Amino acid sequence: MKSIKSVQELKLLRLNLGSQVVESFDKVAFDPLKFPWPIKDASVEELISPMVLNYVSQEQRGQYMDEIYRVLVPEGKAHVWVPYYTSMRAIQDYAAQWPPFCEASFLYFNREWRKVNHPERTLKCNFDFTFGYQAPPETAAKNEETRAFWVKHYVNAVDDLRVVMVKKP
C-alpha cells in the first residue's frame, strides 16, 4: 500500500504561469520568464499561461515554449492567452513585447511546419494547436459569417487570442 506522500508525489500538476487566479490551477512560485524552470520534465498535465507570452521578449519566446514542452506530459495541454494583434490591447501596454500574436504565430511551435518553412529554427517543442477568440460584445453578438468577416477585416473585433496547444512527441 502506498503512503499519502508517495501518491502526492505521483500527482501530475496543473500550473498557472500567470498572475491571474484561475480556478483548479496552482499558481507558480517562480518567475516564468527565467529559465530553466524548477519543474521536473514531464510532470505537468496541464498549464495555463494567461497574458504571459506577450511579455516574453522576441528572443526568449522559443525558449519559453521549449520550457512548456519540457514540463508537459505527452499529450499534455497548454492554454495560452494573448492580446490579439489587431486589438488595441496588443499595443497599449508599454511593457508588452513586440511583435503581437496572431493565429499563425503558433505555427512556429509545430516541428513539421518548421521543417518545411523554417528549418533553421532550432526549437525542441512540437505542439498541435487549436484557437478561439475572446470577442467584445458587439462582435460576439453577430452571426458566424459576420464575425468571421469582422475578425479578418476590422481592428478591435477581437480582444484576445486563446490557444490550446497539445504536446506531440
In order of their start, the domains of the chain are: 4-167 (3.40.50.150)
Q: Torsion angle of alpha carbons 61, 38, 32, 6, nearest 10°?
A: 110
Q: Are strands 13-16 and 26-27 parallel, antiparallel or unpaired?
A: parallel
Predicted local confidence at residue 12, as pLDDT: 82
In sign, the C-alpha dihedral spanning 106, 111, 116, 122 is positive
Using CA atoms, how far apart are residues 96 and 55, in angstroms rounded to an integer? 5
Range from 4-8, 56-60, 116-120 carrying the lowest mean pLDDT = 4-8
Please report the pLDDT score of residue 107 as a whole number: 98
Average pLDDT value for residue range 40-55: 97
How many whole angstroms separate alpha carbon 93 and alpha carbon 106? 22
Average pLDDT of the chain is 93
Exposure string for 98-119, b = 16+ CB within 10 A, e = fewer: eebbebebbebbbbeebeeeee
Rg of the chain taking only CA atoms, in angstroms: 17
Per-residue pLDDT tens for 18-32?
999 999 999 999 999
Question: What local confidence, expressed as pLDDT, does residue 3 receive?
Answer: 27
Res 1 pLDDT > 90: no
Residues above pLDDT 90, as percent of the chain = 92
Local structure of residue 84 (DSSP, 8 states) = B
Q: Reply yes or no on whether the pLDDT at 134 is more than 90.
A: yes
Over residues 79-127, the pLDDT tens digits come to 999 999 999 999 999 999 999 999 999 999 999 999 999 999 999 999 9
**pTM of the full predicted structure?**
0.90
Cell of 66: 521549449
